[in-house]
Structure 1
Amino acid sequence: MGEATMMGWILAQQTPLGSSSAVESQTAGTIPELVIISIVLLLIATLVALVTQRLRIPYVTGLVLAGLPITDVLSRRVGLDPSLVLNLFLPILIFEASINTDISRLRSTFKPIALLAAPGSIFSTAIIAVLVKFGLGIDWIPAALIGIILANTDTVSMIAVFKEIRVPSRLSTIVEGETLFNDAAALVTFNLILVIYATGSLTFAQGVKELLVVALGGAVVGAILGYLSLPIFVRLNDPLSSLLLTVALALGTFQIGQFLGVSGAVAVVIAGLIFGNLGLPGSSSASDRITLLSFWEYAGFTVNTFIFLLIGIEINPLTLWRILPAILFVIVAYQLGRILSVYLLLNGLRWFDRPIPLRWQHVLFLGNIKGSLSMALALSIPLSLPGRENIIALVFGAVLFSLVGQGLTLPWLVKRLKISRVSDVMEQAGKLQIQLIAAKAAQDELDSLLKSGVLPKAVYEELWASYQVRVAQSERILRDFYNQYRANQLKSDRSGLDAIRRRLFLAEKGAVSDALRKRIVPEDLVQPYIKDLDEKLLKLEDD
């Protein structure tokens, strides 16, 4: 989705201005070239997929490496346009990530995510900016822009690794959540620095006010549009029409946010979370939900494929070689910023939340991979800014190192750390849980078909009974596992049951807090109960 539009727009930029007939003729002449380029890039991406699967390396890293040799061939006709990345590709990627994010999982890991995405990002940005300012001798505005760009993380490679190597769900949620909110935070602060550059000055109070207005305004816009989409979605019985609604919601929310002067990225995050957690579960048809999620998975995969391939095409290795010492200094700066923000901040997390294991922190540090947003932000720096070309070259060099160096070593590190150790008992219990969940979902779908009149009752009873056999068998074996756990108290097998307990405790906490907000129960009785729940949550094993 979007690749033909992207390259068509880029090719159109090179059409010389003139009469309308000349423009039409030139545009018509570029269509065959556009088709050929699209086919070439698709074939390259397919070949990269085959090679990376065989070599067991991240797909996006392979795309970047594949793009480097063809720089001289296609660089004048195809490039990474920042406007298209920010207005089309970024909303698609953010929306795809947010509709697949469970709010209950975010809530259980909110504190580490908030630490990394807010103060962690600011802390890392400040460290990078100071080092670049005094190490390379550039002005504060360019140094601050480099800091913001390189403090941003792109975890496409990390998520790809997590799909192949099992990691605890809490770690995966922290990674996804940090990226989700980090992208929005990077865009907000980047635009704030550009405002300072344009106006010449901005007081601290004005800066804080600007940040709050842009961020909170984006959240309000996203919440309004997200909730407005829910009744429309419920009334749409056609999955294809529902797809159109979600595309309009993702792209429209971003544009409306930008038009109103608030953060479009924040708006898309909130709208996606609302739609994914309130809209999709309310769909009466499981097949419609699968169609929607499959479409957005394909859209995200396609966008990432073309972005990372074009990153490789955009980078000129010879240019980077000429400024290699400066690039190495910038790499050290952003790695140091990440080290301090991860290890220092997360070390203090133990005072008010479950501590993050040191092995997880190693993954969060090495997973500090740069990607498409960093490239797009660098290219969107105003032409009038002195040293713009140097900033772009430094960022491109850091991105290349990040995608290749860290991207190739991350799978090795995750395996080496042995983060997730699952016993044979819990492995079998997990398979039974999958079987139980699937059978229950099938029974719910049968109930829906019976109520709608699609299924005769005799057929319904026969199919429902066949699924009930699977449900009963799974429940019986899982009960035996639970009894075995209670008898032996195997510490290594706690995480599966503790994950369930965590959800139950969080549900209790949410219900009691909601009752307190409605003044149903007195606060002096609620606070000790919530404190007891928090202590129980802290004692649970990481999932």
Structure 2
Amino acid sequence: MNAYHLITFVAIGFIIYAIDKRKEYFPVPIILLTLGIALSFIPFYAEAELTKKIIFEWFLPAILFVSAYQFPLKDFKKYFGVFTALATVGMLLTAFLLAGAMAATIGIALSIGFIGTLLIASILTPTDPVSVVNILKKSTDKAQLADIVEGESMFNDGTSVVLFTVVAGIYTNEQNFAILTFFKEFALVAFGGLAIGLVIGYTVSKIIHVTHHEEYQVMVSVVMAYGAFLVAEHFGVSGVLATVAAGLLFSYEIQDLENEEKYRNYLDGFWEVVNPVLLSILFIVMGIEAMDLLKWNHLWAIGVLFLLTLVVRFLVLYGVFQAIPKWRHEFSLKNINLMTWAGIKGTMSIALLLGFKDQYSGEAELIFSLTIGVIILSLVVQSLIIYPLTKWQQHH
């Protein structure tokens, strides 16, 4: 991908996000994806692609840091138990149930082994609230639901990348799956990432008490976001969880500043420019890549897999909330239904898929095709349904 590609993608992103500011519920990811598909028919843009190194070392740290840093700390404290449960037990249950359901249905017809279905499930497990949080907040009187969906996504991104890393390692090395070894490696990568993120977050965030210049605060946040990620990845643990932990700790430290609101406004001014730029490039490139990855003879399997993702997510959410008496009364079937449809596959799934495609040189066309197809279906169908669904549930 060259400079001309980047300038075009950023310009397109600017136009679409500018329209989004004027139109409520404008489906930004869908439009960017569609434009990417259109650009794939132009030879000059068809050659644009992102490598795993660029995605993981340049895109993810910034996207993750923004989510963590801007997440309201009061909601983090209030729903910490919910986030933790959904991002650990809930995420693992979702991945293994989806993999099992896949193996028992389309896996038999298409000859996909369990590790292959688990790899697909690990890519499809992360959720992306970018296109639905604002809709939930504006179309329903339960703002807490949007906060929970957003917080779940932030933590889920971290743990699902750990799951993907472990499963992808098994798949590419063709190792046997051992459940005990899997959980040991999962725990090491997850807790190692959190530990490094907390240490770097605490150490670097102390610098904000030394300097009182807004531009230096931005520099500190950039060092923290990318430093936590790169150091964690260097030691073989989760850079995603390290960045999330550092971002939350940085937000906590800013509370002690005398001019907290002033600093937050300055930081937001920087990161809220960076974030849509990166998201625009990711969604457009996914549209370009989609035409190469998607195989039309797999459409029936993509449809079945998409339905399975919804059913499994509903069952896991229902099971987790029913298991805790306090949550049982707080989360009704209507809330669980909304959370199910709000679990859109987006940014992280795209990053994992494109990263795996760049890294893996084996024959995995079937995995690429099924995964990209479900991501596209999820973005289109769920983004368009969530608004009328919230309105319908309010009147029934």
Q: Does 1:398 align with 2:367?
A: no
Partner of 1:67: 36
Partner of 1:418: 394
Partner of 1:157: 131
Partner of 2:313: 338
Question: How far 1:58 moved relative to its partner?
Answer: 2.1
SS of equivalent residue, structure 2 residue 330? coil
CA-atom RMSD, angstroms? 2.4
> For the residues of structure 1 that align with 2:37 and 2:259, how far apart are their CA atoms?
47
Question: How far 1:306 moved relative to its partner?
Answer: 2.0
Letter matched to residue 407 of structure 1: S
Partner of 1:76: 46
CA 1:349–1:127 in structure 2 vs 1: closer, same or farther (change >3 Å)?
same
Aligned length: 386
> For the residues of structure 2 that align with 1:272 and 1:233, how far apart are their CA atoms?
14
Larger radius of gyration: 1
Query: Which of 62, 67, 71 is 1:92 aligned to?
Result: 62
SS of equivalent residue, structure 1 residue 78? coil
Percent identity, please.
26
Matches within 5 A, 1:297-308: 297-308=272-283
The 10-residue stretch of structure 1 (283-292 or 124-133) with the greater mean CA deviation from structure 2: 283-292
Letter matched to residue 328 of structure 1: G
| Structure with bigger RCO (C-alpha 8 Å, 6+ apart) | 2
Partner of 2:95: 125
CA 1:248–1:398 in structure 2 vs 1: closer, same or farther (change >3 Å)?
same
CA 1:318–1:231 in structure 2 vs 1: closer, same or farther (change >3 Å)?
closer
Question: How far 1:353 moved relative to its partner?
Answer: 6.6
> For the residues of structure 2 that align with 1:319 and 1:258, how far apart are their CA atoms?
31
Query: Which of 363, 368, 391 is 2:343 aligned to?
Result: 368
Question: How far 1:362 moved relative to its partner?
Answer: 1.5
SS of equivalent residue, structure 2 residue 315? helix
Question: How far 1:345 moved relative to its partner?
Answer: 2.2
CA 1:318–1:302 in structure 2 vs 1: closer, same or farther (change >3 Å)?
closer
> For the residues of structure 2 that align with 1:373 and 1:182, how far apart are their CA atoms?
10
Partner of 1:481: none
> For the residues of structure 1 that align with 2:32 and 2:63, how far apart are their CA atoms?
17
Question: How far 1:169 moved relative to its partner?
Answer: 3.4
Partner of 1:380: 355
CA contact (8 A) 2:322 2:328 kept: no
> For the residues of structure 1 that align with 2:84 and 2:10, how far apart are their CA atoms?
38
- Structure 1 moving runs of 4+ over 6 Å: none
Q: Does 1:104 align with 2:81?
A: no
Question: How far 1:184 moved relative to its partner?
Answer: 0.5
> For the residues of structure 1 that align with 2:14 and 2:39, how far apart are their CA atoms?
16
Letter matched to residue 307 of structure 2: V
CA 1:231–1:345 in structure 2 vs 1: closer, same or farther (change >3 Å)?
closer
> For the residues of structure 2 that align with 1:272 and 1:318, how far apart are their CA atoms?
34
> For the residues of structure 1 that align with 2:141 and 2:233, how far apart are their CA atoms?
37
Query: Which of 226, 231, 251 is 1:256 aligned to?
Result: 231
Question: How far 1:264 moved relative to its partner?
Answer: 0.8
Q: Does 1:313 align with 2:276?
A: no
Question: How far 1:288 moved relative to its partner?
Answer: 2.7
Per-residue Cα deviation, 1:245-274 (whole angstroms, up to 9, x for no partner) = 111110111000000111111111111111
Task: List alignment gaps of at least 5 residues for structure 2.
Answer: none
> For the residues of structure 1 that align with 2:222 and 2:11, how far apart are their CA atoms?
27
Task: List alignment gaps of at least 5 residues for structure 1.
Answer: 1-9, 12-33, 420-543
CA contact (8 A) 1:61 1:408 kept: no
